[in-house]
Structures are given as structure tokens and as C-alpha cells.
Amino acid sequence: MSQTVNRRALLMAAGAMGAMPAFAADPAKAAGEETAPAGFDAAPFGKQTVAFAVIGLDHYHIMGMTAAIIRGGGKLKKVFATDPKQIADFRKLFGDIPLAKSEADILNDKTIKLVCGAPIPDLRAPLGIRVMKAGKDYLSDKPAITSLEQLAEVRKTVAETKRKFAIMYSERLEVKAAIQAGYFVDQGAIGKVIQTVNLAPHQINSVSRPDWFWHTQRYGGILTDIGSHQIEQFLYFTKSTNARVVASQAGNVAHPQYPEFEDFGDMVAVGNGGTGYIRVDWFTPDGLGVWGDGRLFLLGTEGYIELRKYADIAGRPGGNHLFLVDKKGVRFVDCSNVVLPFGPQFVSDILHRTETAQNQEEALLTAELVLTAQKLAAKPVIA
């Protein structure tokens, strides 16, 4: 892992690319090591299709979001953006997609049923409100909402229009190890999950960041931004349907040249299913070789799971590493073959007005919790 993996390149690459069957023994792996099967059967979704468009390419999460919808049967009709490099990079992955003349060109197209968006974060909720009022569903990059006032307006518009305001919490929905962890939890492999611990370090790559990245009011703050991934996982794995933040801190510890930027934060949440601790930061050193050593710990009443999502510093190559410990012993599970279900499930949800891929209230409760944590956050206590 000597050569750093550029995050934007990784996102570009990501865009390019029920019951669990028994695990098959892999003779190439050591005792206690196994490879997870695909897990999700996409065949029943194979003939579904929905027309969609993309508005806003300011964060390259949009590459993975677009790829997920296409995997689910989405037909990409138009894209609207103004930055030539962003447009060129997008077309490099998805072909010579027609460039809309304006946002209205997409919103007024009655054949388009879904809009995916990744503009600058503080513009995402207003875009989603316009999309829903135009009679379409919306899938936003996170953070989809940067203020409690925006959240109130989003909830009001969802109720009035009956449209979807979905949020791509990709650190669970687009991470194979996290999908496999969900299967294990649902099977009762570690009993009831009573606590989650999420460590979410990121690499800053200062020279490649746009100006809005350094201004808290544009991205909502570190807890609102990165922390949204982690709170969503806390709710999902503990099966909490209501929760509150009991402590939080956020601030600028080591980047005085960017006084409006937050580089460290953490928070504790409690819900009706368990508790969660979350740490987020921008201190991943170049020597790691990837953009962050994201880790998730699930403590159950009969065992625990650790995910090393993007790197295993013990030496195993690649990402999607899962470790499970129970009364029978220790297992390492390579999750690289797991199939990601979000795209097919979400397209099906659009067609059938279901909530299999994402529960609307959970998506917005996630936003509410991180916005509250951000609002109440104390300054970091650094000795």
C-alpha cells in the first residue's frame, strides 16, 4: 500500500464498475477464513426500468450513485452541470449522455421519474424540494440536508408530494462488508446488537479540494457531513427507530489556515435499540495508501463483528474485510464477492412505491440527529 489511492480516482472507479446460501470453503484460504457468497439475487429485478437524470456533479460520489441506479435498471436520459471537467469525467464513465440546457429541462420532462444529485451540499435539499414538487423522486449524495430549517421543509414536501427524498449513505449501502454484516445481524449471528462504534478517518488531499470544502456553512460541518454515514449505520444495525444525541464535539484542531473548516468531531447517540459512538476526522496520513481506514464495530449479546472497510493494516490486500467472533471461535470473511442490492431495490421502490432499499423516516432521522449533534457540539478538548 505504498502508493496513495486518490479518492476521486477511487470514486470514478466505483462508478465504472433474504436468505443467505451456505459459505463455501476456499482451499486457498487458511483455517477460519472464508469468502462470502453473493447474498443478493438480482435476477427478479432484471426487467425493471426507470428513466432518470442527474443534476449536479460537484462531488464525485455521483459516479457511484449513477452506477448503482443503472445496475438497478435505470436508464440515464440527461445530465445537467456547468463545469466542463466534471461533465467530461462523467461522460467518460457513462457515455455521451445528452447535456440538459437547464435544470428546468429535466424537471419539465415527464418521462423522467428520478433525479440523482450531488451539487454543493447546501444546495442539495433545495434541489430535492424542487424535484419532488415537479412530481419526481430524488436521490441525493450525503449530506443531503445542511440545516434543521431545510430538514423541516424537506419533511413538509415529502408529506405533500408523496415523493421520495432518498439519501445515498454509501458507507453502508455501497460497501460490501457492511452489506454482509447486515446479513449476519439479521441471522442472529452475534445476538442482538447493543452498540456500534464507528471510526471514520479521511485523507484531506488539500490541493484537490474545491473552495466550498473549507467553509462549514457550505457542507454543514464535519458531523453533518461525514457523520451522517455513521449515524445511519447506528440506526440500521441497532434497529433503532428513535434516538437522540447525548454528547458531541466538533472543531478545527490542526488547520488554522482554514479557520472555517472542521477537521475533528465525535458524538454519542442512544436509541431504542442500542447506543452508538462515532469519531470522524481528516487526519489519515499519506502512508496508509488509501483515503481512510474506516472501521465499524458491532457489539452483540452473543459475539461481535469488526469491519475494516477499505484497508487491513495487518496485511491482507484490498478492502471489505469482516471479522466475526462468537462462542465457536474467530472467523475472517472476505466480502469482495457480495452483491450490492441498493440499486435494484431502489428502482423497484420507485416503481412499486415501497421502501425496501431505504426507509424514508430513517433517512431523515439520520439527518436530524447529525444536524442536532452539529448544533449542540462543543469545541474539541485538546490538552
Residue 128 CB neighbour total at 10 angstroms: 30
Q: How many CA atoms lie within 13 A of 122 on its CB side?
A: 11
Q: Is the pLDDT of residue 73 over 70?
A: yes
Report pLDDT for 8. Answer: 55
What residue type is 164 in one-letter code? Answer: K
Model pTM above 0.85? yes
| Residue 167 DSSP one-character state | E
What is the distance between the alpha carbons of residues 323 and 280, in angstroms, rounded to a whole number? 22
Confidence of residue 382 (pLDDT cuts 50, 70, 90): confident
Q: Which of 218, 215, 140, 219 is nearest to 173 (CA)?
A: 140
3-state secondary structure of 215: coil
- 10-25 tens-digit pLDDT: 555 555 543 333 444 4
Whether 86 contacts 126, CB under 8 Å: no
Q: Is the pLDDT of residue 183 over 90?
A: yes
Q: Is the pLDDT of residue 227 over 60?
A: yes
- 237-275 tens-digit pLDDT: 999 999 999 999 999 999 999 999 999 999 999 999 999
Helix (H) or strand (E) holding 183: helix 176-186
3-state secondary structure of 65: helix
Confidence of residue 130 (pLDDT cuts 50, 70, 90): very high
Whether 93 contacts 12, CB under 8 Å: yes
| Residue 225 DSSP one-character state | H
The per-residue DSSP string of 90-126 comes to HHHHH-SPPBPSSHHHHHT-TT--EEEEES-GGGHHH
- 197-219 tens-digit pLDDT: 999 999 998 878 999 999 999 99
Report pLDDT for 20. Answer: 37
Q: Angle at Cα 168 formed by Cα 164 and Cα 172, nearest 5°?
A: 130
- Average pLDDT on 66-89 reads 98
Report pLDDT for 23. Answer: 47
The per-residue DSSP string of 72-89 comes to TTEEEEEEE---HHHHHH
Instruction: Dig out the grid coordinates for 231 from the structure.
Output: 449515524
What is the distance between the alpha carbons of residues 119 and 125, in angstroms, rounded to a whole number? 10
Pick 299 or 208 by higher pLDDT: 299
The per-residue DSSP string of 189-221 comes to TTSSEEEEEEEEE----GGG--GGGG-HHHH--
Strand 137-141 and strand 114-118: pairing? Answer: parallel
Domains of the chain in sequence order: 171-341+371-376 (3.30.360.10)
Q: Which of 207, 224, 238 is nearest to 144 (CA)?
A: 224
Q: Is the pLDDT of residue 9 over 80?
A: no
Report pLDDT for 18. Answer: 34
- Average pLDDT on 175-192 reads 98
Confidence of residue 1 (pLDDT cuts 50, 70, 90): very low
What is the distance between the alpha carbons of residues 331 and 352, in angstroms, rounded to a whole number? 39
Report pLDDT for 19. Answer: 33
- 110-128 tens-digit pLDDT: 999 999 999 999 999 999 9
Q: Is the pLDDT of residue 374 over 80?
A: yes
The per-residue DSSP string of 278-347 comes to EEEES---GGGSSS---EEEEEETTEEEEEE-S--TTS--SS-EEEEEETTEEEEEE-TTPPP-HHHHHH
Q: Is the pLDDT of residue 4 over 50?
A: no
